[in-house]
Amino acid sequence: PAVSGGDSFAVSSKTVYNTMLEQHPDLLAVLCLPVPMHVPPQWGPDGEASARWCELPMFSRLGDHFASYFNRLHIEQTQEFPDAPRITQEQAAAVDAVEEVSRIPELRLDMPLRPGDLQLVNNLSVAHARTAYSDDDAPGRGRLLLRMHAAFAGSPELPRGYTAIFGSSTAGTYRG
């Protein structure tokens, strides 16, 4: 564990969506339309670099499947690219509102992570983050968190904008 802080928390994306629908329906509508999103560096089979940003809705529904992709940092990082659309004041206010809703204590699950803990999260249905932390500065005494992307053949179809991030938006494909 960290010397202080570093607790993890998670909140259902559907709960955030429903709360936004009740409290900020005008701002929610903005996030059901594509917003600019940074794409982490990826390379194709021939070594070509992928696009560094895409546009996708923060909240979407395709058939019976609800999906959400929220990462404030990835939205803000798009502004480093001159060819990316500028984030509008309305989009910025909507992102602020989602972050505010996701921090309502009654909606979220707070959990400290201890050595040996495993946290499994579906990023398309659960938003998660951690609190600020400070580590022990002694060599070899800091935290080590490993991240793994697990994919499965029963994956649902996603809006096309997700292809830039996951490589495919087609149902039943492994993504990552």
List per-residue pLDDT tens for the chain, 176 residues long: 777 778 888 999 999 999 999 999 999 999 999 999 988 776 667 777 777 899 999 999 888 889 998 889 999 999 999 999 999 999 999 999 999 999 999 999 988 888 888 888 888 888 888 888 787 776 666 667 777 766 677 788 888 888 887 778 888 877 65
Ramachandran class of 167: left when φ > 0, alpha when ψ lies in -120 to 50, beta otherwise? left
C-alpha 172/C-alpha 46 separation (Å) is: 25
C-alpha 53/C-alpha 36 separation (Å) is: 7
Q: Tokens in use for 161?
A: 């904008």
Ramachandran class of 6: left when φ > 0, alpha when ψ lies in -120 to 50, beta otherwise? left
Task: Indicate the pTM of the whole model.
Answer: 0.84
In angstroms, the Cα distances linking 25 to 20, 69, 124, 172 are 6, 18, 21, 32
First vs last C-alpha separation in the chain: 28
Closest CA to 58 of 47, 69, 46: 69
